[in-house]
Amino acid sequence: MNLRRIFTVATNVFWEVIRDRILYLIIIFALLMGASVRLIPELAATTEKKIILDIGLAAISILGLIATVFVATGLVNKEIEKRTVYLLVAKPISLAELIVGKHLGVSAVLAVLVAAMTVIYLAILSLSRIPFPVGSILIASLFIWFELCLMAGVGILFGVFSSSLLATLLTFGVYLMGHSTRDLVALGKLTKNPGLEQLMMGLYLVLPDLARFNLRNDAVYGQVPYLAGLITDAGYGLLYVVLLLSIAIAIFSRREF
């Protein structure tokens, strides 16, 4: 793969998504945080401060997910519907470079989105004189971005072989299941049914374990996992993205346009 061509695709995707006004979500986030600080009474109480911290991180995650799903699932379909995929295939660019470049472009947009919302989040907390653990919140935001990059890979994979609507529904489904895989394994063990237990374990192995990237609850208390655990979880996310994009490339290369 040619890195220059990948970078060109990523740059085009980045500016295309920016022009689609996806960053308006930053304004929505700022309004949500401002309203939360004003509407939740008695901010001096410890529990109320925790609620504000929880709302901020949850909003970053949810708004980021919405942006990820609706952008990633339509990247390939948009090229097919507009017939621009014919021009791309005719150019000296491989399908692998196209898929990887699109994922990198979306990941860059998500990095800007998460970073901007995190800065606003910390600024509002500071202006409201709400104490917060800076380090753990920054790490939690970083892992929110890792999770969104993985979900972008899921969205691109589904977008390669299905309509935008179906790809959107499937991606949201994977997100919900990905946060429940550990519960599924525990449920399988409780049933004491070998067949069901193997099925649940199979789902756990196939679906992404998104709980690895959820550090929000620990972050509000200033707690983060050990460095080795963080590196392991980040590596897991990277490998899963590589697997998703490899499958997407294999499927896309077999499509007839």
pLDDT in tens, 169-213: 999 999 998 888 777 767 666 766 677 767 777 777 788 889 889
Instruction: Calculate mean pLDDT across residues 1-29.
Output: 83
Residue type, 128: S
Task: Select the more confidently predicted residue: 82 or 24.
Answer: 24
Task: Select the more confidently predicted residue: 234 or 20.
Answer: 234
Domain ranges of the chain: 3-179+214-253
Name the band, by pLDDT with cuts 50, 70 and 90, for residue 237. Answer: very high
* pTM, 2 dp: 0.88
Name the band, by pLDDT with cuts 50, 70 and 90, for residue 253. Answer: confident
**44-58, 117-131, 146-160: range with lowest mean pLDDT:** 44-58
Work out the mean pLDDT of the chain and round it to a whole number.
Answer: 83
User: Angle 32-37-40 (CA atoms, 0-180°, nearest 5)?
Assistant: 105
Percentage, residues of the chain above pLDDT 70 = 85
